[in-house]
Amino acid sequence: DVTEHQVLARGAVSDPFPLGIHAERTKTSVALQYLYLGISHIIPKGLDHILFVLGLFLLSLTFKSLLLQITAFTVAHTLTLALTSMGIFRLPSDFVEPLIALSIAYVAIENIVTSELKPWRPVLVFLFGLLHGMGFAGVLGELGIPENHFLLALFSFNAGVEVGQLLVVTAAALAIGWFRNAAWFRSRITVPLSVAIGIMGLYWFWDRL
């Protein structure tokens, strides 16, 4: 028996299923599809991950500090996305999802109470990234991964997530980055947005519990 595997976006129509003839999908089509799925999981579907990345952006007064946090987050979620997807390590989603929400609230609250990047922040961002990676893996598991292109699909999905994060940071930089050195930036931008992000994080934490 031959199993045909297709992943469809909302409202999409599947390709015809050939009867008796197995049409192997090309590596390019798999890579492009999972790249798109990774991007769409951040934009527009991943509001929680968008708010987390924005929280990192708001306390990053320099490109170096932002790069340090984004790198820590990326390395961490790439690690757990791979390990969880391969079945090497797994935690229940009922445990992971509330903690992801709590990580968003924590980042926002720290933005409110301090105006500078503390030494422990990149370490915590790395730990939070491990949780987010397991969340990404849960989504990827629901979508399904073609067995004959497992690593390619995994890599492409993760690359899509990175592209989505980069788009979020770029949009934030274009929207408010010009005013980062203004005396009023913290009081009018960082604190109010962090309050809103923190409220959403706490709401999601309670809701997911």
- Residue 149 to residue 125: CA distance in whole angstroms: 31
Give pairs for 112-119: CB < 8 Å, separation 24+: 112/191, 112/194, 112/195, 112/198, 114/59, 115/186, 116/59, 116/61, 117/59, 117/60, 117/61, 117/65, 117/69
Average pLDDT value for residue range 98-113: 97
pLDDT digits (tens, 9 = 90+) for 24-75: 678 999 999 999 999 999 999 999 999 999 999 998 878 888 889 999 999 9
Residues 189, 163: Cα–Cα separation, whole Å:
25
- Residue 1 has a pLDDT of 45
Instruction: State pTM to two decimals.
Output: 0.86
- Amino acid 19 reads L
